[in-house]
Amino acid sequence: MKALHSFILLLSLTLAACGGGTSNESEAQATPPAMTPEEKMLAEGKGVGEIKFVELKTPLEAERVDRGKAIYDMKCAACHKLTDKRFVGPGFQDVTNRRKPEWIMNMVTNVEVMLEKDEEAQKLLQLCLTRMPNQNVSIGDARDILEFMRSNDGEK
């Protein structure tokens, strides 16, 4: 099944590549007719995993920020600093502007599959050369971490 998906993806990419620079009509034809929901998520930069949609509220939810910081201190801070400096993994600064919230939460809760399937995650692995570990973070905890990241990026 996985092989079939890869094949379809490859086929669509090939078709898309062929379609480059031709008329609108042929571009429309090149759009894959049956994109799976997973492929759609990946294509939209949301990553792969259980998190399909995250609703962000303004102002920030203060309790989430506090809880998120506590989890960050325990499970993330050893490798991710809050600046833009890369340590073992990338610094957190600006991450909420670089990535969609769904991508961030999927990366935190579903890292093995993300590293297998998500191109952006794979680029980070090539850069950092250490596989991000699965830190057994629940979806609720990941949401709190996201809120803390938003706060770290200056959102109010």
Partner 1 sequence: MKKVLFFAGAMLLIVVALYQCKTKGAATATTSDAAEKAYVAPGTHDEFYNFVSGGFNGNVSVYGLPSGRLLKIIPTFTVFPENGYGFSEETKAMLTTSHGWIPWDDQHHMSVSETDGIQDGRWLFANANNTPRVARIDLTTFKTVEILEVPNSGGNHSSPFITENTEYVVAGTRFSVPLDGKPDVPIDSYKENFNGTLSFISVDPGNGHMKIAFQVLMPGMAFDLARGGRGPSKDWMFFSCYNSEQANTLLEVNASQNDKDFIIAVNWKKAEEYVKAGQGKRMTTRYAHNMLNEETHTASTSWENEVLLLDPTELADFVYLMPCPKSPHGCDVDPTGKYIAASGKLAAVIPVFSFDNMLKAIADKNYDGEYNGIPVLKYDAVLHGEVQKPGLGPLHTEFDANGNAYTSMFVSSEIVKWNVESLEVLDRVPTYYSIGHLCVPGGDTKKPWGKYVIAYNKITKDRFLPTGPELTQSAQLYDISGDKMKLILDFPTIGEPHYANAVPADLIKDKSVKIYKLEDNKHPYVAKGEGEAKVERRGNEVHVYMTAIRSHLTPDNIEGVKVGDDVYFHVTNLEQDWDIPHGFTIKGSKTTEILVMPGETQTLYWKAEKAGVIPFYCTDFCSALHQEMQGYVRVSPTGSNVPLKFGTGVEPVQ
Residues that bind partner 1 (CB under 8 A): 73-75, 77-79, 87-88, 129-131, 133-137
Q: In whole angstroms, what is the distance from residue 54 CA to residue 105 CA?
A: 9
Q: In whole angstroms, what is the distance from residue 154 CA to residue 156 CA?
A: 6
Nearer to partner 1, 104 or 132 (CB): 132
Nearer to partner 1, 89 or 101 (CB): 89
Supply the minimum distance, in Å, between the C-beta of residue 23 and partner 1: 48
Cβ atoms 84, 91 nearer than 8 A:
yes
Supply the minimum distance, in Å, between the C-beta of residue 136 and partner 1: 4
DSSP state of 132: P
Burial class (CB in 10 A: 0-12, 13-18, 19+), 113: middle
N residues, the chain: 156
Supply the minimum distance, in Å, between the C-beta of residue 150 and partner 1: 20
Nearer to partner 1, 58 or 136 (CB): 136
Nearer to partner 1, 72 or 103 (CB): 72
